[in-house]
């Protein structure tokens, strides 16, 4: 970069700093610094962090030189198999641990006690002590990959953003770049697993949002799709009906500040299925978002990796909401009128041609809708429970009413069963909630077979 180029970059940044009182570059650095002050919480999310401490690191901590541990290991392995670390050296290590980490040193002291009591070998002692140091020591730096993970993004996300902010030769160079509220919301959700430990990090995020009032609501606001009228005529297409059913069960529509958003978020194992939807509505698969969500479940950290198709389209949003698709999933409590109309037309058509109504064109539309609903909010038991039968399948909902309607409309013989009673206290991701009820309906083999015949390009994972 020439001197003139550098001056141009500096002027651009200076001009930007007047507009952005808390820059994205400074924000990212503050995140790194504050996260590194919480090594114990980070070690629960990233267990591999505990393995970052080497023999050299322990030697430096213990004796201030690089070879102390290496020498002890060599001596025991090659000269005296009965050799053990001297009491005086262990006392020095204990004292240094207490002086350095205070109350956090309790794990280090316990490991030392185990070694003194012959509960673990010298080699086990060294490995366990290093791992505990890695867990409690703030000297293990937060990597860009780890910060990307906390944002819920792909492993190279922060590296890509950093280049965009700082590398003038980057074709996407933009020193004015700022995270969207949507992206920041993902970071907040993941950090909230340890809300107390990360409270200062959450304060930093809140400050960034407050000092940058013009943040976009979501990333890629300028993008659209090439087939906005996909849901315009459900009654004529089992394909459209299937994806409408899928959205009814597991998709979302949202209109915050006129953004008219539609989205589907699936496990990474269903990425190919998500690509099918993207292709149908004209959404380039390169825009599919990789997401990571961190939750605490039964006091254990669980990581959920998903892919998401999300876009803004007013005409499609209007079409879906006019069909009755509610923004809140809890409001989806009945079969929508368009599906009831398909069933009415199917039964009328069946009277004229003397076939089961499920085999008429409208019947296939109605069954394709239910198949999409099942793929979004159902469970196939045929593989995990062979005794249940090859065609064992269930659908679930928080609404008993919608399952009762499905039972009656599609001629399902099984009763709607209670899985969780309304009013029951239960833990959801380690938060105590009062259940509004959760219900299941077993479809039965005959109905499930009819669903499978209505539309063939559905979710393979839930098939016999």
List, as one string, the DSSP characters of 87-101. HHHHHHHHHHHHHHH
Q: Which residue has the higher pLDDT, 387 or 378?
A: 378
**What's the pLDDT band for 65 if we cut at 50, 70, 90?**
confident
- The whole-number average pLDDT for the span 252-267 is 88
Q: Tell me the average pLDDT across 290-309.
A: 85
Structure-model confidence comparison of residues 352 and 31, the more confident one = 31
Range with lowest mean pLDDT among 131-145, 354-368, 433-447: 131-145
Give pLDDT, residue 245. 96
For residue 383, what pLDDT is reported?
A: 66
Residue ranges of alpha helices (H) inside 230-336 are 238-250, 271-281, 314-322
Could you tell me if 232 and 319 are in contact, meaning their C-beta atoms sit under 8 angstroms apart?
A: yes
| pLDDT value of position 423 | 85
Give 184 or 429, the one with higher predicted confidence. 184
Three-point CA angle 56, 62, 68, nearest 5°: 50
The full set of domain ranges for the chain reads: 3-22+144-211, 41-136, 234-462
Among 129-133, 164-168, 429-433, name the one with the lowest average pLDDT. Answer: 429-433
Q: Is the pLDDT of residue 20 over 70?
A: no
> Are residues 53 and 131 in contact, defined by beta-carbon separation less than 8 angstroms?
yes
Computed from CA positions of residues 86, 91, 94, 95, in that sequence, does the dihedral angle turn out positive or negative?
negative
What is the reported pLDDT for 51? Answer: 67
Rounded Cα gap, residues 377 and 396, in angstroms = 6
Residues 6 or more apart from 302 whose CB is under 8 A from it? Answer: 294, 295, 296
Q: pLDDT digits over 208-255, tens only?
A: 999 998 888 766 555 578 999 999 999 999 999 999 999 999 999 998
Q: 408 pLDDT band (50/70/90 cuts)?
A: very high
- The values of phi and psi at residue 302, to 5°, are -120, 135
Would you state the pLDDT for residue 437?
A: 87
Whether residue 167 has pLDDT greater than 60: yes
Higher pLDDT pick, 409 / 154: 409
Mean pLDDT (the chain) is 88
Using the predicted structure, report yes or no on whether residue 366 has a pLDDT greater than 90.
Answer: yes
pLDDT at 392: 86
pLDDT digits (tens, 9 = 90+) for 410-452: 999 999 999 988 888 776 655 777 888 899 999 999 999 999 9
Confidence of residue 17 (pLDDT cuts 50, 70, 90): very low
Length of the chain (residues): 464
Place of tokens 């890695």: 134
pLDDT for res 19: 45
68-117 per-position pLDDT tens digit: 999 999 999 999 999 999 999 999 999 999 998 898 899 999 999 999 99
For 148-173, what is the mean pLDDT?
92
Global model pTM greater than 0.75: no
pLDDT digits (tens, 9 = 90+) for 24-59: 999 999 999 999 888 888 888 888 776 678 898 899
pLDDT for residue 258: 78
Which residues, in sequence order, are CB contacts of 404 under 8 Å at separation 6+? Answer: 416
Q: Say yes or no to pLDDT of 309 above 90.
A: yes
pLDDT computed for residue 16 by the predictor: 45
User: Residue 395 has what pLDDT?
Assistant: 95
- Residue 6: pLDDT band (50, 70, 90) is low
**To which CATH superfamily is domain 234-462 assigned?**
Homing endonucleases (3.10.28.10)
């Amino acid at each position: 970069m020439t001197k003139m180029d550098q001056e141009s970059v500096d002027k651009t940044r200076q001009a930007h700093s007047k507009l952005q009182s808390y820059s994205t570059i400074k924000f990212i650095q503050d995140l790194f610094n504050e996260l590194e002050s919480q090594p114990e919480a980070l070690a629960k999310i990233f267990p591999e962090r505990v393995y970052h401490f080497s023999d050299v690191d322990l030697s430096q901590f213990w004796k201030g030189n690089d070879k102390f541990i290496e020498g002890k290991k060599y001596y025991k392995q090659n000269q005296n198999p009965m050799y053990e670390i001297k009491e005086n050296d262990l006392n020095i290590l204990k004292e240094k641990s207490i002086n350095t980490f205070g109350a956090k040193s309790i794990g280090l002291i316990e490991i030392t006690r185990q070694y003194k009591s012959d509960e673990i070998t010298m080699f086990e002692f060294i490995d366990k002590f290093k791992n505990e140091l890695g867990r409690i020591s703030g000297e293990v730096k937060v990597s860009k990959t780890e910060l990307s993970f906390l944002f819920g993004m792909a492993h190279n996300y922060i590296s890509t953003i950093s280049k965009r902010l700082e590398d003038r030769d980057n074709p996407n160079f933009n020193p004015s770049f700022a995270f969207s509220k949507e992206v920041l919301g993902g970071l907040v959700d993941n950090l909230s697993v340890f809300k107390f430990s990360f409270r200062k990090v959450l304060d930093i995020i809140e400050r960034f949002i407050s000092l940058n009032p013009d943040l976009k609501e979501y990333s890629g606001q300028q993008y659209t799709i090439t087939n906005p009228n996909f849901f315009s005529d459900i009654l004529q297409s089992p394909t459209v009906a299937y994806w409408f059913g899928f959205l009814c069960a597991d998709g979302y529509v949202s209109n915050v500040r006129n953004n008219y958003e539609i989205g589907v978020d699936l496990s990474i194992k269903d990425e190919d299925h998500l690509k099918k939807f993207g292709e149908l509505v004209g959404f380039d698969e390169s825009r599919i978002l990789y997401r990571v969500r961190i939750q605490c479940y039964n006091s254990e950290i669980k990581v959920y990796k998903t892919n998401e198709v999300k876009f803004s389209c007013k005409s499609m949003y209007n079409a879906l909401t006019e069909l009755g698709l509610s923004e809140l999933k809890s409001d989806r409590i009945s079969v929508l009128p368009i599906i009831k109309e398909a069933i009415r037309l199917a039964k009328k058509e069946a009277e004229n041609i003397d076939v089961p109504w499920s085999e008429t064109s409208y019947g296939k539309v109605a069954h394709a809708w239910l198949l999409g609903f099942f793929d979004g909010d159902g469970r196939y038991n045929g593989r995990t429970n062979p005794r249940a039968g090859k065609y064992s399948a269930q659908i679930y909902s928080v609404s008993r009413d919608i399952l009762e309607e499905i039972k009656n409309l599609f001629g399902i013989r099984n009763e709607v069963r209670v899985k969780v009673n309304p009013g029951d206290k239960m833990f959801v991701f380690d938060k105590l909630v009062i259940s509004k009820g959760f219900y299941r309906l077993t479809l039965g083999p005959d109905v499930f077979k009819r669903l499978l015949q209505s539309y063939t390009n559905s979710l393979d994972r839930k098939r016999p």
